[in-house]
A and B are shown apart, each in its own frame.
Chain A
Amino acid sequence: MELRKDYFADVRKDGLNEIGQPRPRLDSPGHVTGQTAYFADRNFPGLLHLKMVRSPHHHARIRSIDTSEAEKHPGVVRVLTAKDVPHNVYTILILIQIGPEDETVLADGKVRWKGEAVVAVLAETERAAQEAAARVKVDYEVLPAVFDMDEALKPGAPIVNEYHGRNYYLYDSGECRKVRFGDVETGFGEADHILEQSYQSSPIEHAPTETTGCVVAPEGNDRFTCYTNTQAMFFTLDNTSIILQMPGSKLHFVGGTVGGGFGGKVDVIVEPIAILAAKLTGRPVSFIYSREEEMQISSPRAAEKVVIKDGVMKDGRIVARKVTGYTDAGAYSRHSPYGAQKGAAHYPGPYTIPNVWIDTYCVYTNRTPSSAMRGFGVTIGDFALEVQMDKLARLIGMDPLEFRFINAYRDGDMKAHRQPTEGAALIECMQEAARAANWPVAEKYMTMSSYRKGA
């Protein structure tokens, strides 16, 4: 790595004692010698293991659940169903008034994705819990499922989630989050060229070294300590308090070093049911995802579809950009309504465009609920935007870097979501990249600056 201190030297105070110094990490020796403690290193006498019975169907009505065989299985201590969960229907962003509550801790009457939790089995050993889970009999009536976002948005599509009653999230702005800036149709009318393209991504996995999980220990006084690898301590505690209808003062969450998160540990999935199990059995409980659960059950990055329509002039100026983004939330909201909204604020990218129209939709389908992941709401948008930029440059016969210099935002430029640009540095990054790669760029672009006089 090279620090190029010559850029922005006039606005930066170097020469500090600790900041800017490559100090060795104080926690590294523990990590590389295996001495760092993670949540799963906690062990307690009498620890119970929780395993989930999961839906084999993408969408089905539950006619009946028979847990009698599982309860008789040697080593089984308790079997939990929806009726055991005090506030079974929840949604995590309710903490900031983003509703409706739309997801069940344990399925109640219906499953909406393959892998959904239906019954929790607690046993003395992982093996006994797994074996007993296989003995739970659930009678399903399979329902039509919808997987494709375009299909889900068509009239008459099967409704994925009755708590929404429609296959998209309803914002206060309507069926999508909207950004309107300038007059996009006038911009298209003036443009020398129009290019409309569609981009698509697939769900991906966070792939942390340490899978999601927690270990809960009763403190003996109606209070419970939850050792967890959540990325957000109080967010998880507060949601658990709602789901279990338990005062927050009864809950103590302890984290520590987490073996990788990447956004995969901001849902509140394992903690509430494990604490409930500890409460109902009076014993410590461990609920840790297998690698298979981490990959197919825990929320992935959402698949997205992005349609971009641009109006561009022969001289390289983009005069209008219209973006329609679709985020595949899967069966439940989790963080996806926010991801779609974050996308609305991110478009049209780091470029100053006078006419912008953005619609971003959060769409429900019968698949594993997606949620936050590194770059949430932005990563796939950047893929679409930057491939589109390459196509536009080629369309007008311009070098792709020079084309970006022409449109790059600079200090003081008004963004589409009506925030003035501050602290821009896109131009300088491109200048340095051109130098590092010996990519020839005209001198006038190499002497540009993100600074503007008076801005």
Chain B
Amino acid sequence: MAIRRGRGVAAINYPTGMNLGGDPTQALVHSTPTGNFMVTLSSVDLGQGMKQIMAQICAETIGVPTDRVIIDTADTDTGPHCMGTFASRGTHRAGNAVIQAAKEARQVMLEVAAEELEVDASDLETDGHGNIVVKGAPQKSISIFDVALSAHFKRGRSISGRGMFLIPRSYPDKETGAMKPSTCYAHACTLVEVEVDDETGEVTVLTVKNVFEIGRALNPKMVEQQLVGGSWMGISHALYETTEPYYPSRDHGGTDFNQYLMPGPGDLAETEIIVLERPSADGPFGAKGPGEMCANPQIPAVANAVFDAVGVRVDTLPITPERILRALKAKAAG
């Protein structure tokens, strides 16, 4: 009886979006007289930070700092339609809609600024700090606050825009299965090191190295929070979780967090995240949807590492100590 070490690898891809019934999201953008921009959506922030990302996308497109953008979302009286937050679609679909709306609003903003500065709108650019400047002559400028005031009170213009992003519905071919179920794909490769106690069947995950390719890290800190959390969830899925421990039997289902097992802080491995960015052709600034993908590769990587350590395959999730011991016993019995 001994503690045995093993390592395993897995590589995966993951589709962005859910194109069974068409996959639309809309956005509206308008400026207030304060020179701030309001983005109106009906998308849901699940705690992952959707509002923050939409603010950064709008800010980059219009050319203002992120804190000048306010997100009003998840109200069906005010927000235009969104299919919902699922299928790794939020950033990609809503982000594209916000870009389109923000571009339209930016164009009106530049037209108003052009009238104030008596130049052509195509000669203007934003400095990213809240001002519109003449290209090549930055001393000639106007603040976006003043542009908003002018639009509202003098020029009679609405600095606003409409955005719509729709992936049309794809119907699978009955015979061949030809279909377009999603758009761009994110990628990952995960390497896991484990120790397995061949007397107790207990698995200790030592290290998890994840390489994720996500198109574009729109906000690297938020990318990190999602990818690390996903990696932990993958470990939990591989080794701990089930509502029906002896599926297909319905017995022994957990009803609270005392019975439903998940790893605690002491059970989490050293987790390394490396991010590659190959911008997608159709994503907002090249972003793909990594929200679901990041919790997948750890599961087979752990399974493969357990085999590498003790030479038995557990092809049923979760890979519990009981299943490992039963497999070891079966192997010993020949």
Chain B's closest residue to A151 (CB) is B248
A454 to B291, CA, bound (A): 31
**Which one of B10, B13, B81, B255 has the greatest number of beta carbons of chain A within 10 Å?**
B13
Whether the pair B209, A172 counts as a contact (CB closer than 8 A) is no
Task: Tell me which of B179, B262, B291, B313 contacts A374 (CB under 8 A).
Answer: B291
Task: Tell me which of B74, B254, B276, B291 contacts A254 (CB under 8 A).
Answer: B74
Which chain B residues border A41 with CB–CB below 8 Å? Answer: none
The distance from the CB of A35 to the nearest CB of chain B, in whole angstroms, is 15
Question: With contacts A199-B316, A254-B74, A295-B256 known, is A180 near B176, CB below 8 A?
Answer: yes
Report B43-97 residues with CB < 8 Å from chain A CB.
Answer: 44-47, 49, 51-52, 55-57, 59-60, 63, 65-67, 73-77, 79, 81-87
A149 beta carbon closer than 8 Å to chain B: yes
- Counted as pairs of residues, one from A and one from B, with CB atoms less than 8 Å apart, the total is 414
Whether the pair A375, B46 counts as a contact (CB closer than 8 A) is no
Which chain B residues border A202 with CB–CB below 8 Å? Answer: 242-245, 247, 316-318
Chain B's closest residue to A296 (CB) is B253
Question: With contacts A203-B244, A374-B295 known, is A1 near B191, CB below 8 A?
Answer: no
Whether the pair B20, A341 counts as a contact (CB closer than 8 A) is yes
Task: Tell me which of A58, A233, A342, A376 contacts B74 (CB under 8 A).
Answer: A233
A341 to B174, CA, bound (A): 12
A148 to B237, CA, bound (A): 21
A251 beta carbon closer than 8 Å to chain B: yes
Whether the pair A374, B233 counts as a contact (CB closer than 8 A) is yes
Task: Tell me which of A25, A174, A379 contacts B222 (CB under 8 A).
Answer: A25
B286 beta carbon closer than 8 Å to chain A: yes
Which chain A residues border B166 with CB–CB below 8 Å? Answer: none
Question: With contacts A258-B45, A261-B46, A379-B295 known, is A426 near B18, CB below 8 A?
Answer: no
Report B176-198 residues with CB < 8 Å from chain A CB.
Answer: 176-182, 184-185, 187-191
The distance from the CB of A399 to the nearest CB of chain B, in whole angstroms, is 9
Binding site for B on A (CB under 8 A): 1-5, 7-8, 11-12, 16-27, 31, 58, 93, 95-98, 114, 147-149, 171-174, 177-181, 197-205, 207, 209, 230-235, 237, 251-263, 266, 291-292, 295-296, 300, 303, 328, 338, 341-342, 344-346, 349-350, 358, 365, 367-368, 372, 374-376, 378-380, 382-387, 389-391, 400-401, 404, 408-409, 416-419, 422-426, 428-430, 432-433, 436-437, 439, 450
Task: Tell me which of B174, B181, B274, B297 contacts A172 (CB under 8 A).
Answer: B174
Which chain B residues border A400 with CB–CB below 8 Å? Answer: 9, 304
Whether the pair B191, A433 counts as a contact (CB closer than 8 A) is yes
Which chain B residues border A378 with CB–CB below 8 Å? Answer: 14-15, 292, 296
The distance from the CB of A366 to the nearest CB of chain B, in whole angstroms, is 8
Whether the pair A5, B277 counts as a contact (CB closer than 8 A) is yes
Whether the pair B255, A292 counts as a contact (CB closer than 8 A) is yes
Question: With contacts A204-B243, A234-B82, A426-B11 known, is A18 near B59, CB below 8 A?
Answer: yes
Question: With contacts A422-B281, A433-B189 known, is A341 near B42, CB below 8 A?
Answer: no
Whether the pair A375, B248 counts as a contact (CB closer than 8 A) is no
B315 beta carbon closer than 8 Å to chain A: yes
B235 beta carbon closer than 8 Å to chain A: no
B212 beta carbon closer than 8 Å to chain A: yes
Which chain B residues border A367 with CB–CB below 8 Å? Answer: 244, 248, 250
Whether the pair B179, A417 counts as a contact (CB closer than 8 A) is yes
Whether the pair B260, A207 counts as a contact (CB closer than 8 A) is yes
B104 beta carbon closer than 8 Å to chain A: no
Whether the pair B74, A429 counts as a contact (CB closer than 8 A) is no
Whether the pair B276, A233 counts as a contact (CB closer than 8 A) is no
